[in-house]
Amino acid sequence: MTIDQEHVTESRENSAEEAEYRSITPWAIIALALGVASALSFAAPLLLALPILGIAAAAIALRQIAAEGSELTGRRAALWGLGLSIAFGVGAVSEKLTTNWRLESDATEFAMLWFDQLRQRRPQLAHQLTLEPPQRRLSGDLLEYYHSQPEARAELETFTGDTAIRTILEQGERAVMHQYTSEVAGKDSRGRLLVGQVYDITFDNEVTEKPLRMTMLLRRSKDYDTKAPRWQIYRFKGSVKPPA
């Protein structure tokens, strides 16, 4: 063996020893694990903490590697963890925002249908939309139904006796609805989605009628057979709109 060959062999042995003694930073492993686990962030809002922690762990790992130089390794694992955390985190947030927008849009459409029944002075249909979907009677002669069923008639009288409902019925098409706020409010005990909305209701003849503010909670369930979404005006409360 020549001197040059001995030198090359010795250099390779030294390089192998140096590689052997380079330790991977634990933060790189943690970052990679959190990056993979960030896929769970699609399941629940609280799990969005996983990609945030993954990004933080990757940042710590990369900072340590940069500071320690050749003594630490794990840069590739940290970068993978960082990329996965960002991808899953952004994806989960985007999906949540899109889902909420769609829910609020569907709830608004149903709320406006309810308001329109009141504006058209059809309290029976408007009252039916406050009932759970399986209990509704949207076909047939509703006037006869409420006339012949004392319990249903009493519920309708309570409904139309509400000050805000009575005012909208009296004003009819002069009532104009303006959405003030809309927000997904979570789920009830049976897993049905809830959307809270607030509407300002003005009238053409504001000299005689003060603007109203209607606070509503809409509930979405699914048809047992078709799985199609079905909405309900779950709760509502009207009051005189506070001055701006």
The answer to whether residues 155 and 230 belong to one domain is yes
Domain stops at, among 65, 97, 129: 97
Whether 157 and 93 share a structural domain: no
Q: Are residues 146 and 73 in the same domain?
A: no
One domain, residues 93 and 173: no
Task: Report if residue 135 sits inside a domain.
Answer: yes
107: in domain: no
pTM above 0.85, yes or no: no
Kindly state whether residues 149 and 206 are assigned to the same domain.
yes
176 lies in some domain: yes
- 124 and 92 together in one domain: no
Give domain status of residue 24, yes or no: yes
Q: Are residues 90 and 152 in the same domain?
A: no
Do residues 115 and 168 lie in contact, with contact meaning Cβ atoms separated by under 8 Å?
yes
Task: Tell whether 8 and 71 lie within a shared domain.
Answer: yes
User: Does 106 fall in a domain?
Assistant: no
- Do residues 125 and 236 both lie within one domain? yes
Reading the chain (244 residues) residue by residue, the pLDDT tens digits are 554 554 444 455 444 444 445 688 899 999 999 999 999 998 888 899 999 999 999 999 999 888 887 677 888 999 999 999 999 999 999 988 888 899 999 999 999 999 999 999 999 999 999 999 999 987 778 989 999 999 999 999 999 999 999 999 999 999 999 999 999 888 898 989 999 999 999 987 655 568 899 999 999 998 878 888 999 999 999 988 766 6
- Asked whether 236 and 226 are in contact (CB, 8 A), the reply is no
| b (16+ CB within 10 A) / e for 182-206 | bebeeeeeeeebbbbbebebbbeee
Q: Which domain holds residue 132?
A: 120-240
Tally of domains within the chain:
2
Question: Domain for residue 110, yes or no?
Answer: no
**Which of 97, 112, 137 is the endpoint of a domain?**
97
Enumerate residues 6+ apart whose C-beta is below 8 A from 97: none
Q: Specify if 113 maps to a domain.
A: no
The 3-state DSSP class for residue 182 equals: strand
Same domain, residue pair 151 and 193: yes
Same domain, 187 and 92: no
